[in-house]
Amino acid sequence: MNMNRLKISLALCGAILAGNVMSAAEPSFIRTASSSTPAFETDFTDAAEKTVNAVVCIKSFSSRQQNPYGMQGGYDPFGGMFDFFFGNPGGQQRQQPRQQQKKKSEPVQTGLGSGVIISEDGYIVTNNHVIDNADKLEVLLNDNSSYEARIVGTDEASDLALIKIDAKGLSPITFGDSESVKIGEWVLAVGNPFGFNSTVTAGIVSAKARSLGASNKGGNMSIESFIQTDAALNPGNSGGALVNLNGELIGINSAIYSNTGSYSGFSFAIPTSIVKKVMADIRQYGTVQRAMLGCSVVELDAKLAKEKGITAVKAGCLVKDVNDMSTAKELGLKEDDVITAINGVEVHNFAQLVEQISKFRPGDKISVTYCRDNKSYTKTGVLRNSQGNTAITKKGDFAELGCAFMKLSSETKQHLGISNGVQVQGLKGGAFRDAGVKDGFIITEINDVPVNNSDDVEYLYNQVMKDEDNEKVLFLKGVYPTGKKYYYAVNLESNE
């Protein structure tokens, strides 16, 4: 190197080290800070200490024939890109050696996840997909004590569940305010990836009110408004805690963005604004009280705004249809109105609208701000449920059908010329009797699905009760022992 060049380079380095940065004439529009940036706090130990004892490991067991090492991802509604993380790493569908196969009636471990203690007496919040279809749940605390848990209630729409262990003096987590969380804020994720208990990872909030699009697939209503973070999460973290640097819960970890089922950049957590409401409803009512605005919307974008002549707002939810007997109808909302705020909280997209409505119950009053003809209006209305009223919804129970179901003999099937069916017996007060069903009626199909035993009936009942989008009705097709065919519609709406 030329010695003159070397001297200049060394001089420049010396100037930089001394804090005197030499530069060419800077354009006048560039703003230069006059003081150095203060160091930011990166000590996560206090938040970790407050959190690890509140996060538990949940093992699920089932007597059904499934992959004994767990279901990677729980289920995959996003075509392999968005995986719920739950179970064995790598997504390998490994089978036990034949000589180690369990008996069908003996429960085997089918999954592994996390949960968060929310009360001293043993209530724990987790993901619905962590405990779904489990015959037995085992909870392992951070001190290695183990408990068997029972399911208090579940909510498939928000992918949340509440379970309970018989314990006292536990260390519940403190809830924080997920709505006050800022993008770029440091957060910690605590869970049990790959079964490694009380693992803590750190990251930042990458985005808020993120939707993964599950509500557009499969037909069931999905409550989605995730906190997106880059904290490293893997199979087993599902149901664990996302906390701020004060150790306060701001979300329940639920999904990752991945092609492999393991961490590759982004993770998603259900915000506490939704978690608190769902948990309170399950404890108080046994099921979630779901409020509906009663209109279909699409997110406003530049193309739609230009097409509709909307210039007053650049973001919001454009109303497409308004349902009868709905809050939207009461408010006078019309097609092409743009909803911009709920109770003064701005909603720029569908996920934000869902999050705000999810905080309320049927019967609650809310104010809706919307734009019509480029003018802003705010009106107040009462939220309703999916049936258009404000009644409290009771927890569905298979026993509400009010009867038992007896398997048919081959002789009876042959005599009536049917290939399958189950017979109603011991009919008493309940939904079946209210629908006009009489003792001895043989059900061959429910909602166009053939039935053969009580388990088939219970399965179809549970499927109908889980479906938030459709009316809760069982359509029965069958025959009486006399050969007379009948059809019944059994209303399962249990509103008071």
Three-state SS for 42? coil
CA separation for the pair 273, 351 (Å, rounded): 13
Choose between 332 and 2: higher pLDDT.
332
Cα torsion angle, 356, 360, 362, 368, sign: negative
Known catalytic residue at 419: no
Q: Note the pLDDT of residue 397.
A: 67
Could you tell me the pLDDT band of residue 42, with boundaries at 50, 70 and 90? low
Choose between 69 and 103: higher pLDDT.
103
Q: Is the pLDDT of residue 54 over 60?
A: yes
Q: Is the pLDDT of residue 445 over 70?
A: yes
Query: Considering 83, 132, 159, 337, which one is annotated as catalytic?
Result: 159
Known catalytic residue at 159: yes
Query: Considering 129, 158, 206, 225, which one is annotated as catalytic?
Result: 129
Could you tell me the pLDDT band of residue 450, with boundaries at 50, 70 and 90? very high
Q: Note the pLDDT of residue 135.
A: 86
- Position 5: which residue type? R
What are 339's strand-pairing partners?
Answer: 317, 370
Q: How far is CA 21 from CA 17, 210, 238, in A?
A: 8, 42, 49
Locate tokens 């409401």: which residue? 277
Q: Note the pLDDT of residue 28.
A: 55
CA separation for the pair 24, 21 (Å, rounded): 10
Q: Is the pLDDT of residue 87 over 50?
A: no
Q: How far is CA 229 from CA 96, 347, 491, in A?
A: 36, 21, 43
Choose between 37 and 252: higher pLDDT.
252
Q: Note the pLDDT of residue 233.
A: 86
Known catalytic residue at 448: no
Q: How far is CA 432 from CA 143, 403, 476, in A?
A: 49, 8, 10
Could you tell me the pLDDT band of residue 203, with boundaries at 50, 70 and 90? very high
Q: Note the pLDDT of residue 458.
A: 86
Q: Note the pLDDT of residue 396.
A: 66
Across residues 40-56, what is the average pLDDT?
86
Q: Note the pLDDT of residue 45.
A: 92
Provide the residue count of the chain.
496
**Mind listing the pLDDT tens digit for each residue in 371-399?**
999 999 999 999 998 778 888 777 666 77
Q: Is the pLDDT of residue 160 over 90?
A: yes
CA separation for the pair 200, 188 (Å, rounded): 7
Q: Is the pLDDT of residue 105 over 60?
A: no
Q: Is the pLDDT of residue 27 over 50?
A: yes
Structure tokens at 330: 């009461």
Q: Is the pLDDT of residue 9 over 50?
A: no
Q: Per mean pLDDT, which range of 11-20, 112-121, 243-252 is the poorest?
A: 11-20
Query: Considering 60, 238, 262, 386, which one is annotated as catalytic?
Result: 238
